[in-house]
Structure 1
């Protein structure tokens, strides 16, 4: 049976018996959340900054999208000051079932709240939003169809007009038979744009952060990035439900969609950088402690050394530090719609 990659990913990851219906991410791949508690501590600092910007409201939202095992929400809740922890309304959003024993202060839902005033974090969520794949042919782009049982591919129909427009703006491909950096294969990120827009339209005030494998329109991967993960190893991207299927995110396109969804320029502040630069701006350095501390406080030295090692992994530009980091803040209410003439 030949289907589009978007349909194949949807069924393999989220359908009945799909990968994310039965598996927890930490069993198969390592995220920043699982690499170190320092990641949650850094986001706790962001939560404090958002709280300051909002004027310390009686209730502030913390929404963790693609929560997995809930570890990030737990970590942030435990790292913020007690006053803020008492005012946080924490929502973990995931399609899997609520983990047993999760802190009762954390609500577990399959969709984000209708209105959010506070901090939204989507860590490695967008790369698992299903998308279609296209290849360039002499007559123009064609969708790539896949056999879910084997991963074999063949060309299918022309993408719909909205996807063709997305490709032209955000992932232009070389002409068939030509050579060049753009390549002949593209991953149509419009569903990721729409997913992020559905978050931003809910954000009345505060900040939303997306952290993910990413690339920019000036340097798209020539042959795409579809990858399978299972038990800590890269495996062929066969969408049969046996492995995670992921693709890097066009975060520049996502950022544009977020700005439009949140009301346009003037209400949204966008920063698109790397995890390394974002965490360094929050004070993370990954610097080894002074050796003299080993003589004065051996246990303190070992704790500091361990923390430095964890921080170094989080900001390593060739690893987790190379992740794209999109931060969008809504600082005021959206403008009222203009009256029609």
Structure 2
């Protein structure tokens, strides 16, 4: 069966027996959430900052979109001081069934709630929102079709006018054979998050690129069992493509965001106290176990902020209702 890549990804990832309805992400790829509790602790510090800027509302929201197995939501809840935890309403947004071991306090939902007052985190969510792929030809962009059984590709028709307009603004192709991933579905998804944010901050964290460094042949990839594989949309693997976060930022502003910051995970986490600094060598002599614990933590922090790895992820932070950062 030949489909556009967007339709094929939708079926492979979220259709009946799709990858994300059947598999647990931790078995297939490593994310910041799974590296260390340090990531959840940094998110908690961000949440505390938002709480202070909001003036300590009676109910403070933490919404984790694309929650996977609920590790981030559980980690933030566990690390939160009792005084904050009493006011905290945690919602994990995920299509897969609720994990059996998830704390009862966490609401498991298929969509983000309305009227969020607090912090939204979307960690590696946008890259799994299906997109169409186009290839530049001598007569203009053409949609790429894919055989869902074996991943073979061929060219289809022209994209629609709205997609062509998006390409012209955000990802113009100049040479025959170049490819682009049309990010309009991601823009709409992110705008829907901003609309649901009544007061507070929303942060998208993902593999990303910007207008001045678009990859000329796209970023489509597959992952299974911890390894990169051919992106065959048969439901056997994760299929992902990097995110045009600058386009998402513009969509968020159109939806009501009043401030926007685009940075890297390295810079964002360093601002939240994640430095990767090794413990002083003299600690090994007076507290060997403490030294080993501190050394392990510094190694985890270093992985989270490594420029060529997780630290290179893009962070898009937008606020509503006058929060400033």
TM-score (norm 2): 0.98
Distance in 2 of aligned mates of 1:280 and 1:331: 26
Contact kept, 8 Å, 1:117 with 1:205, in 2: the verdict is yes
Report deviation, 1:332: 3.8
Aligned with 1:58: secondary structure?
Answer: coil
Report deviation, 1:175: 3.8
**1:210-233 deviation line (CA, Å, top 9, x unaligned):** 000000111101110000000000
Distance in 2 of aligned mates of 1:65 and 1:222: 29
Aligned with 1:201: secondary structure?
Answer: helix
Report deviation, 1:90: 0.4
Distance in 2 of aligned mates of 1:261 and 1:39: 28
Residue of structure 2 equivalent to 1:315: 305
Contact kept, 8 Å, 1:45 with 1:80, in 2: the verdict is no
Residue of structure 1 equivalent to 2:10: 10
Report deviation, 1:80: 2.2
Distance in 1 of aligned mates of 2:136 and 2:273: 45
Aligned with 1:149: secondary structure?
Answer: coil
Distance in 2 of aligned mates of 1:303 and 1:54: 35
1:130 and 2:130 equivalent?
yes
Matches within 5 A, 1:188-337: 188-262=182-256, 268-332=258-322
Residue of structure 2 equivalent to 1:143: 143
- The count of residues paired between Structure 1 and Structure 2 equals 323
Report deviation, 1:254: 0.5
Aligned with 1:257: secondary structure?
Answer: helix
The unaligned stretches of length 5 or more in structure 2 are none
Contact kept, 8 Å, 1:35 with 1:310, in 2: the verdict is yes
Report deviation, 1:84: 1.1
Residue of structure 2 equivalent to 1:179: none
Distance in 1 of aligned mates of 2:223 and 2:229: 6
**1:88-138 deviation line (CA, Å, top 9, x unaligned):** 110000000000121000000100002211000000000000000001111
**1:59-93 deviation line (CA, Å, top 9, x unaligned):** 01100000000000011112222211110110000
Contact kept, 8 Å, 1:48 with 1:80, in 2: the verdict is no
Aligned with 1:89: secondary structure?
Answer: strand
Residue of structure 2 equivalent to 1:80: 80
Q: Flag as ranges the 4+ runs of structure 1 deviating above 2 A.
A: none
Residue of structure 2 equivalent to 1:339: none
**1:32-65 deviation line (CA, Å, top 9, x unaligned):** 0001110000000000000001100110110000
Distance in 2 of aligned mates of 1:102 and 1:118: 21
